[in-house]
Amino acid sequence: MDTKKAFDWLLPPYSRVPLLAMAGCGFLTYYLTRPISQQLPHYDLSLPLDAAIPFVPAFSVIYVLAYLQWVVGFVLIARESREVCRRVLFGEIIAKLLCMVCFLVIPTTMSRPEVVPDGFFNAIMWLIYRLDAADNLFPSIHCLESWVCFRGALHMKKLGPWYRYFSFFFGLLVFASTVLVKQHVAVDIIGGILAAEIGQQIAWRTEAVRHVWRLDPPEIS
């Protein structure tokens, strides 16, 4: 198999524009909102529950592995079919646009513990805190992405049920990691799931996607 055929097998041509659009929207949402939101008052949405949740640096591994879950998840979604790929990614883009509005209208922040890189897990946490400021928290992008991967898995027929179960339970671990490493508060998890779900409902229950990307006749069962 030559390089072009291998790449076409990995990411079919119909998936490339949606994937690039999704990546571009994610970049705009997370990074280009910051110069605006930094000039605005920020709100701490912490609840008493958040104060009771312990700081567990070991969950930094799950927090980082979430990025791998997204890469694998979106590649599998892209390869499933044109219909699944374009609808799931269209829903993802809608969810990111909702996040963009929230980041600008309700800028959020939170208190994070002081971390000294004196061990493996603490070193990971120290690096995460250095790379990711305590803003753009509501809704949680981490939770949003993991939920979209799970929702995409529900439409997959090429893989067995095991992948749906894996996506769901790993997603729960990701949700837990966001609060256990003190990158988010509980409300951010709910916001991330709601944003993802609103996007998916619009993508699958309406024909809006057909006005953005050409689709073949529906394959929805």
Residue 218 above 80 pLDDT? no
Confidence of residue 2 (pLDDT cuts 50, 70, 90): confident
The pLDDT score that the predictor gives to residue 64 is 97
Q: Is residue 7 part of a domain?
A: no
**Alpha carbons 53 and 55: distance in angstroms, whole number:** 7
Domains: count for the chain? 1
Check whether 217 has a pLDDT greater than 60: no
Domain containing 43: what range?
13-211
First to last CA, the chain: 33
Place of tokens 């619009």: 202
What phi, psi does 130 have (nearest 5°)?
-70, -35
Q: Is residue 217 part of a domain?
A: no
Q: What is the pTM of this model?
A: 0.92
Q: pLDDT band at 1, cuts 50/70/90?
A: low
Answer yes or no: is 80 within a domain.
yes
Examine residue 221 and state whether it is found in any structural domain, yes or no.
Answer: no
Say what the pLDDT of residue 216 is. Answer: 47
220 lies in some domain: no
4 assigned to some structural domain:
no
